Amino acid sequence: MQDHPKLIPGRLYHIYNRGINSCAIFREEENYRYFVWLYGKHVAPVVETYAWALLPTHFHFLVQLREPNPDRVQNPVRVIGDASHQLSILFNAYAQALNKRVNRHGSLFERPFKRKPISSDNHMMNTLIYIHNNPVHHGYCRHPSEYGWSSYNDYFSENQHPKLIEFQKQFFEDRENFVYLHEHALKKLEEDDLLD
């Protein structure tokens, strides 16, 4: 049970999972788009998302759970539950849609989904960099900026969300340091691969 702690409002978590038996969970571009849309509908209202990456067989998110706000007027169409429940809705809705689209049946994701509490600023920074560099690690690109299904390029967008700007300044100081730390981690990854 230690690998699957209860999600606590206000805390940062690395949330990740993969297809059951390492099966593909994203088979075509439309699958990625639909998953992102479902995430926006069901999960984004209950978390602040700082990093994400979707790969063919697995995904990663770095999120902070929002604190409940009893004074906030809720949209009656979007009833917000706890983060675990909202994530389950996302996974079930996506699995049903993919199963129907590709004529498969049964579970799509391993259960329960993995979640690791972030224990320090350093742990958070390393997790964010790990998530962005994950597509490079798995051979889908040579640099995280080349991969379309991650949040790396969101940090360079002209329409960058104010929360990401604030987050980047707080933990990485500026964009140059953000890039440097990602590239430093990539170099280390390359060196470690050479040693294997």
- pLDDT at residue 195, as a whole number: 43
Q: Model-level pTM?
A: 0.88
CATH architecture of 12-195: 2-Layer Sandwich (3.30)
The tokens describing 117, both together, are: 């509490």
**How much is the pLDDT for 57?**
97
What pLDDT score does 188 carry? Answer: 82
Q: Is residue 111's pLDDT more than 90?
A: no
Nearest to 26 by CA among 147, 130, 114, 184: 147
Is residue 194 over pLDDT 60? Answer: no
Q: What is the pLDDT of residue 86?
A: 94
| pLDDT number for residue 159 | 82
* 45-104 pLDDT, tens digit each: 999 999 999 999 999 999 999 987 665 555 433 445 689 999 999 999 999 999 999 999
pLDDT in tens, 16-43: 999 999 899 999 999 999 999 999 999 9
Instruction: Give me the mean pLDDT over the 170-178 stretch.
Output: 90
How do the domains of the chain map onto residue ranges?
Answer: 12-195
pLDDT of residue 4: 72
Alpha carbon 79 to its chain centroid, in Å, reads: 22
Measure the CA–CA gap between 100 and 125, rounded to whole angstroms. 38
DSSP state of 5: P
